[in-house]
Every structure is written in structure tokens, then in C-alpha cells.
Amino acid sequence: MDKIELIAKPPDRNPEEVTNESVLDKLKTMAAEHEDGESPREPKESDKKVNDDYTMEHAQAEEVDHDGLPVPKGKIPIDSNFSTEEIKKLVELAKEETVIKDDIHVEVVNRDETFGDRVVISEEPEEDRIVGEK
């Protein structure tokens, strides 16, 4: 099963205030900032080594997010930029636009109001799918 694990940022508003429009506006703003070179930032020597394969030479070939993790060219860092409710809305919108499959779901695996929830986006396991769905 493929999955993506993210740290959601702590909510800055009530979950009821998170709308499709507010999430899309935030995503568009981030995309525009990324195109303008404002975010993510250029890597610094002080950025931590992420794993044995990651080196400063790799980081200099890429941009990094605010945690010092590499962001592939043409991608927007979602990790720590969206609240749990905003992540759920992004997944709903992607399903509506058929960008992702309907069997993708969001699960909060650890709640933390101070530092942000740990969220997993993954495919629903086959044994949990309704018979006849693929």
C-alpha cells in the first residue's frame, strides 16, 4: 500500500471555516510564491542531513522546505503548510476532479494541537473495499 505521511500545521481557524475556496486560494497563493522564488527557500549549510543518501550537494541542486527537506522542482511543499481539515479538503477536491482515485483516504494517526497532527494519506486496503469496486 502506498502512502504519504505529513505533519499538518496546527489549525489557525475553526474546521467549519475551511472551505473549498479557502483551500484553493491558499494553494494558488503557495503556487504563485513558489513560481516567484519566495518559497521554498535555498538550502543552507545548517540544514540537517535527512538520510545517508542526502547531502548538501543534493540540496544545492534542489530547493528545500522550512524544515530543510528537499522539494522536487515544480512541486509545492504541503507538509506543515496545511491543517488537517485543509488536507482533507484538498483530498476531497482532488477526488472530485478525478486527480486521485476514490479509494484514497486521510487518517490522523497522532493528534497534537501544539505542533500539528500526523496525517497519513493512503489507498484503502483491498480487504476494506466494497465488493465490486476496483
- pLDDT tens digit sequence for 65-79: 666 777 777 777 777
Q: 126 falls in which pLDDT band (50, 70, 90)?
A: low
Q: Domain count of the chain? A: 1
Domain contains 44? no
Domain contains 61? no
DSSP per position, 67-81:
TS-EE-TT----TTT
Domain contains 91? yes
* DSSP label at residue 41: B
* 90-123: pLDDT as tens digits: 999 999 998 888 899 899 999 988 888 999 999 8
Domain range for 13 is 1-18+79-134
Domain contains 70? no
Domain contains 46? no
